[in-house]
Each structure stands twice: as structure tokens, then as C-alpha cells.
Structure 1
Amino acid sequence: MDNNKLNRKRLWSSLALDGINWQSIDLFTFQKHVKSNVLDGIARRCGGFLKELSLKGCENIHDSALRSFTAKCANIEYLSLHKCKRVTDTTCDNLGRHCHKLLTLNLDNCTAITDRSLRSIADGCRMLETLNISWCDNVTDRGIQMLLQGCPLLSTLILKGCEGLTERVFEGVESNLKELRVLNMHQCYVTDITVTCLAEGAHNLQSLNLANCNLISDASLQALAKGCKQLVSVHNHDSLIEMCVKFDPDMLHDSDLTADGRDCINITDSSVICFSMNCPNLANLGLSHCELLTDASITALIANQREILEVLELDNCPNISDAGLSQLKVCPKLRRLDLYDCQNVSKDAVCRFRSQRPGVEVHAYFAPLTPPAAAAHGRQGGPICR
């Protein structure tokens, strides 16, 4: 080998082994093969240069390997331990002791985690902005309260399936919710007490997921109306907020915000009109199976959300008609419109709308005139527009 080739080989080898070139590492693809010695090698090689590490699904990783990692990689800012089920409170103790620059921590499905972990994070990771502890059943109200008190910059909190929490999880820490922008409490024990406490402090909240929280009533929506006027998304594919509530239209006042989700069959036009007037940042709205809605709801959305509306779901709204669909063509940012099983919306109207707004993804279904001999499962039928 000539000297030039040898020098190039040495240069590439040097670059490959230089920790400064390994600031972000994702081992998800190799999860089954990642053992403790791999993490030890990363820690030794990258040291203080490493900023981001994803160990998602690496179930062979345990506390002893992470002890060395946290000591050597103290500048870590993003760490995902999603489904690292051997991880316990010991790892979070070490994160709090060494990793003071941590911004994002994912402990989704780390089922051994308890309040002790949240106390350690609150004590040592005060710059934390995002935390995911979904399905960590051993976390209680006290752990969340310590976290909120110790991490003043926390803006995203994912609590899906945390069954150890009660309705009073935010009681007494309302003043620590002011930076919260995104909250996911899917399948948690949530009542009007929970939402009222949240609304008293989380005035900058933009996204809220209350899917499968069927104990909340209209009082929750009124509390959100008064306290959380920055809500941007009200139900989308990720169900940022999906409320199936015990709704009483007679309780609604003009000044109240109403957050309506799918399958709320008692929602009326007056509700959507008030929602539209009091939520100026509303861009995504799911109203599927709200069977009492008419074109008047669309008229209100056009009047108040015309310039920002992006996603509108109207599946199974039988009183929405061609006239209502036609109004939506003036929304410049509209990118998705769902109209499955809207019996009063015609195929011709959908085709006309698509020709006028070709950039909008329109989901609609029209049954064939003659059913096929062997119908497969799911929605069928020919093309919407030929």
C-alpha cells in the first residue's frame, strides 16, 4: 500500500474513532444485539461529546451499564430508554447526579420506575423540557408533583396509562404548570377536578389528550375555556385531545370554550359556534359522529378559523351538505378533510371541491350502485372522481 492510501486509511480511522463525530447515536435498529459492553464502548469513545442517544427497545440494557454511561456522558441532552424494562430507579438516580443538561427523557414502558426516579430527576435535571413516563404504573401523584416543582422548564409531559395517578395529581402545583404546552393523559383517571386544576395553571397549554377519560363533564370544557385559550389542536391522528364527555348544551354560555371530540353525539351547532369564537388558534378539529351538526357549524368555522384551519373531520355527520362543503374551499391552509358516510354530501360536490382545491386530501366514500358479488371488509366503492 502506497503512503497516500495508508495516510487516508489512518485519517478515516482517526475520524471514526473521534468522539466529536459521534454526537448523536440511535441503536434502535440493533436493539436485540445491544448489550452492556456496547454501551460501555460508546461511553468511553464519545464521553462528553455525546448529546443524543436512543436505546429504544434495547431490553438487554440495565442499570449497571447506564451507571458508567451517565458518569462519562454528562453532556447528554436527549436520552430514550423506551421499553428498556430492566432500567430501575437507580438509573434515574445517576441521571440526576451527573446529567444536569438533560432536556428530553423517554422512559415509556420502563415499568420499574417509581416516584424515586422523578425525585432524582427533579433534583438534578432542572433543565428538563420533555418527559415521557407512559405506562409507568408505579408513579403516583407525589412523583408528578415533585417533578413539576423541580423542573420549571417542563413543556411536554406524556403520562399515557399511568394508572397510579389520581384525579388530584395537579392539586397544589397549579403554579408550576405555566410552561406546560403538551399534556397526554390518555387512559389516566381524570375527572373535572383534574381538568379544573390543570386549567388554573396551564394557561399556555396547546395540546391535550384526554382519550378514554370518560369521567369528565361539561365543567371540564368550561374550565379549559377560561384558562387554556392557547389550545391549537383539538383531536387529530394522534388524538391530541379526544373528549367523550357528558355534554349538556343548556349549560353553554357565549364566553365558554367547548372542546368536542369524536363520538360526542349530543354536540350541536351552538357548541361549535362558541368553540370557534373562543379558540382563535384552532387548526385541527375532529367532529366525527356528531350527528346533530349542520352546515351552520362550517359557517362558524369559516368566519373564525378561515385562515388557520388545517384538518377537519366530519365523518358520519349526516346533516352536513354540499353547501357546507363548498364553503370550505376558501380555507387557504386546509390540507385534510374527512367526509366518510356523510349522506347529504354528493359525489359531484366532492369532485368539484377536489378540482377547486387539488392540494386538499379529501377522504370520502360512496357505495357502488350495485354491490359486488363478494365484498371485502372495510370501505369500498369506485374512485370518488373519474
Structure 2
Amino acid sequence: MEDTVCRSLVHISSLFPEILAMIFSHLDVRDKGRVAQVCVAWRDAAYHRMVWRNVEAKLHLRRANPSLFPSLVKRGIRRVQVLSVRRSLRDVMAGIPGLESLNLSGCYNITDVGLSQAFSQELSSMVLLNLSLCKQVTDSSLGRITQYLKNLEVLELGGCSNITNTGLLLIAVSLKRLKRLNLRSCRHISDQGIGYLAGMCQQAATCGNPELEHLGLQDCQKLTDQALKHVSVGLPRLQTINLSFCGSITDTGIKFLSKMHSLRELNLRSCDNISDNGLGFLAEGGSRLSSLDVSFCDKVGDQGLAYLSQGLFSLRSLSLGSCSVSDDGIDKIVNSLHDLTTLNIGQCSRITDKSLSSIGGKLKQLKSIDLYGCTRITTVGLEKIMQLPGLTTLNLGLWHKR
């Protein structure tokens, strides 16, 4: 019956398998599986590695399935996300030689013991490991990871609250190819740990991760300006850094970062001690930032926007949610930062139609604007915004029509 179906589709089934594979490669994952069930010819074409290139398999590791891993290997799948674990991770490592990416995010029952069993020999092909929210993971696991996964380029540890500076020392000594490191809510780490990443170790002859391009430090509340001094000295290729909710960071720390010409994205959301002066340091230091978030920094006001308008000409995205800015400050950036594509001024309660008129008249590249909670704007101002040719996103939550 299946072969009869295929013969009836002469114009498609007569194609070379390589051509069918090219066509199937454009389907979503579910449809890739469906076409493999049509007939033998389509099944063979659908199992071509081209079809599954860059696909991440999503697995529940429950009962044993002898055909699972051979099927993944046949299709050339080398990226896996484990959704739940009830059996050993060692089966994944053994079943998929050459595994490149392993995502264990949210697998709360993952322990140091389970990871030690999984990582028991060198895995040179692995470049990405995501352990976000694996809350039982400690520095002991990092010892295994740094011993056997030396080619890691991406390591996600967000929410691994038992990681300490000792774990960062292990990373600094062994993971020399690391480009992205997320330490969100790793609240035990301090300036000393960031110093290790920046190459400042007395315990080892060589350490540091100079290839780091992205560093997530959100909610690492022990960090101070000293950590940013370490970053500015020892991480010359850093492009993005997330410092949101790091309450001890001050304008002094921003002065260190302002000298990093590689830096493109800076997130200071809810950093209570950042003020207009910090934005002034960014402008004076020749910063080439394309994205800046100072939302909920209540010490940032119109003077800070005046500083930005005088020096941060590369800005494309600016978030000012709940800052103490008015129409005067918005006027400054509108007249200077013409290439902005994203602007968040939600909950800036002093903003009126005057700002919207300026934005609509001068920010012709704007694609997204957040006006959540801007209760002093009216339909008159919104009409100006709606005339922007490229606008695709407009947030008006808590706006009272007048």
C-alpha cells in the first residue's frame, strides 16, 4: 500500500534521494518524522543526515529503548536536550559518540553522582553544556567537566546556586576555549571568582578565559566594582555582560567597563546604585555599546540621557523602564541617536505626547517601543508613533485611553 502511494506521486518520488533530502530539510521536526512514514523511498531520504542537520533531539530518559540512539546516530543528530531523567545519563554519552551539545536545563534531579557517571572519559566533541536550574550540582561536577570536556565553548550554570569561587577556578584553569558562561543566581561567587576568569590566580601557573565573549552575572549579589575591574583587564573579547540585580555595582564599576571597546551589550537592570554619572562614564570612555538596559535604575534621569546623546552613537536598543526621565531627556536622545530600533520607556510616568511626537518624527528606524504604564499619553501621540514605517511591536499595557 505504501509503495502504491509513492508510485502515484511520480513527479516527487522520481527525484534523486539527495534532492528529496534537500526538500525534507526545510520541514519542521514533526513533519520530518511524518514524511519518513509515507514509503520506503521517502523513509530512506528522510534519514539522510542533511535533513537533520542542526536539529536538537528532545528526549525523556525513562525506560530503555534499544532503537533510540542508533536511530539518532543514523540521522547524524549530535545535539540533545534531556527533558526528564529516570535512567543514567551515561547511556546518552555511550549511545551518541561525537555528541556536541547536551542540554539538561531544568532537570532538578541531576546530581554530582549522575554527572560523574556520565562524564567518565574525554568528550572532545562537546562544545555546549547547559546545566541551568540543576540545583544539586556543585563544584564537584565542575571538576569532572573541566577534566573531560576541555573543548567547551558554552557553559550554562544559571541557577546552580551551589557553585562557588572554587568552581570558577577550575573553569579558569581548564576551559580555555570558553566563549559563553552564564552564572545567573550563583550567589556564592564573589569578586575573587571573577578574578580567576580574568586570569588573576595565585593557585595556578596559567589561568583565565580570555576567549570569553558573553558573561551572565545576573543576581550575583556578592559582586562589587572590583569584579568589573577584573573583567576590564582580563577579558578583552567580552561583547555582552548581564549585571542585572547586582545591587553593589556602582558608577565606578561602569567606569571600568567604559574602556572596553569590545563591549556591545550591557544590562544594568535594577542596579540601584547606577546613576547619571555612570552613563556619563560610558559616553566619555568611547563605549561602542549597541544595547543598554538601565530599567528600574531610579537614579537615572534626564541628565543621563543627555550624556548618552553626546557619546553613545552606536546604540540600537535602549531600555529606560521606570527611570526618572521626562520629555526633555527623550528629546535629547531623539535628536542624536537616530539609529535606535528598540526603545523601552514603559512606566516612565512623566512621558507625554510631546515625546511621542518627537519619536515619531525622528526615529525612523524604530521597530519596537514599550509604552507600558505611560498614563499621560493620548491617542494624539499614538497617531504619531503609528506613522513609523518599520514599527512592528507596540506595548500599551496599563494605558488609559483618553
Give the superposition deviation at 1:45: 0.9
Contact 2:79 2:102 in 1 (8 A): yes
2:311 aligns with: 278
Alignment pair present for 1:311 and 2:343: yes
Contact 1:107 1:132 in 2 (8 A): yes
1:154 aligns with: 212
Alignment pair present for 1:165 and 2:214: no
1:142 aligns with: 192
Relative distance call for 1:277 and 1:379 in structure 2 (3 A) is closer
Structure 2 unaligned regions, length at least 5: 1-38, 48-66, 200-207
Give the superposition deviation at 1:242: 3.1
Contact 2:101 2:129 in 1 (8 A): yes
Relative distance call for 1:63 and 1:22 in structure 2 (3 A) is farther
* TM-score normalized with structure 2 length: 0.71
* Partner AA of 1:347 in structure 2: T
C-alpha distance in 1, partners of 2:193/2:374?
46
99-108 or 339-348: which moved more? Answer: 339-348
Give the superposition deviation at 1:228: 5.4
Contact 1:307 1:333 in 2 (8 A): yes
1:254 aligns with: none
Contact 1:95 1:125 in 2 (8 A): no
C-alpha distance in 2, partners of 1:19/1:118?
37
* Partner AA of 2:353 in structure 1: S
* Partner AA of 1:44 in structure 2: A
Alignment pair present for 1:35 and 2:86: yes
C-alpha distance in 1, partners of 2:275/2:198?
26
* Partner AA of 2:365 in structure 1: K
Q: Describe the SS at the equivalent of 1:138.
A: coil
C-alpha distance in 2, partners of 1:19/1:132?
33
Contact 1:76 1:101 in 2 (8 A): yes
1:215-248 deviation per Cα after TM superposition (whole angstroms, max 9, x unaligned)? 234443333223351111122xxxxx436254xx
1:281-304 deviation per Cα after TM superposition (whole angstroms, max 9, x unaligned)? 11122345566633x555544443
* TM-score normalized with structure 1 length: 0.74
Identity of aligned residues (%): 25
C-alpha distance in 2, partners of 1:222/1:348?
34
Report the number of matched residues: 335
Contact 2:264 2:291 in 1 (8 A): yes
2:163 aligns with: 113
* Partner AA of 1:155 in structure 2: E
1:150-197 deviation per Cα after TM superposition (whole angstroms, max 9, x unaligned)? 111111111122233333223455321321111112222212343333
Contact 2:116 2:144 in 1 (8 A): yes
Structure 1 unaligned regions, length at least 5: 236-240, 247-263, 366-377
C-alpha distance in 2, partners of 1:197/1:97?
33
* Partner AA of 1:24 in structure 2: R
Relative distance call for 1:83 and 1:290 in structure 2 (3 A) is closer
1:124 aligns with: 174
1:339-373 deviation per Cα after TM superposition (whole angstroms, max 9, x unaligned)? 456566441442364256474433447xxxxxxxx
Relative distance call for 1:272 and 1:334 in structure 2 (3 A) is same
Contact 1:75 1:100 in 2 (8 A): no
C-alpha distance in 1, partners of 2:322/2:161?
36
Give the superposition deviation at 1:333: 2.5
Relative distance call for 1:219 and 1:177 in structure 2 (3 A) is farther
Of the three residues 232, 235, 247, the one matched with 1:177 is 235
1:24 aligns with: 79
2:367 aligns with: 335
1:238 aligns with: none
Q: Aligned Cα RMSD in Å? A: 3.5
Relative distance call for 1:345 and 1:83 in structure 2 (3 A) is closer
Relative distance call for 1:86 and 1:92 in structure 2 (3 A) is same
Of the three residues 91, 109, 122, the one matched with 1:60 is 109
Give the superposition deviation at 1:91: 1.4
Alignment pair present for 1:244 and 2:244: no
Give the superposition deviation at 1:120: 1.2
* Partner AA of 2:233 in structure 1: S
1:301-359 deviation per Cα after TM superposition (whole angstroms, max 9, x unaligned)? 44433244333526545464358526524534311233456566441442364256474
1:29-78 deviation per Cα after TM superposition (whole angstroms, max 9, x unaligned)? x32xx0351x111010113x111111011122222322243325332111
